[in-house]
């Protein structure tokens, strides 16, 4: 069988290592990266946020890569800075 679907912020937030409130605050970013999606579930049907653990882990990896500041040696942040104290 395939990977189990996570339904609701209560199941999604712990995978990200965030609180439910933090996950909800980042819902636009999660949606843009296709880490979450919505489905109509239940009776009566209600729009429910869903995801898979693999999508969330991929989001965290790509987010960390893009969030790394460019202050490596020779980068714009260190240009012209000396170590003189």
Q: What is the pLDDT of residues 23-77, one digit of tens each?
A: 999 999 999 999 999 999 999 999 999 999 999 999 999 987 665 454 445 444 4
Residues 50 and 26: beta-carbon distance below 8 Å: no
- Secondary element (H or E) of residue 52: none
Judged against a pLDDT cut of 50, whether residue 78 lies above it is answered with: no
- Residue 15: the pLDDT is 95
**Starting from the edge strand earliest in sequence, which strands make up the sheet with 46-51, in order?**
6-7, 46-51, 37-41
């Amino acid at each position: 069988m395939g990977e189990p679907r996570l339904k609701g912020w209560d199941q999604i937030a712990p995978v990200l290592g965030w609180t439910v409130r933090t996950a909800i605050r980042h819902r636009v970013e999660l949606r843009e990266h296709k880490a979450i999606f919505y489905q109509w579930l239940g009776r009566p049907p209600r729009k429910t946020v869903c995801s898979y653990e693999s999508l969330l882990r991929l989001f965290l990896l790509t987010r960390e890569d893009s969030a790394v500041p460019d202050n490596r040696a020779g980068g714009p942040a260190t240009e012209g800075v000396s170590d003189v104290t």
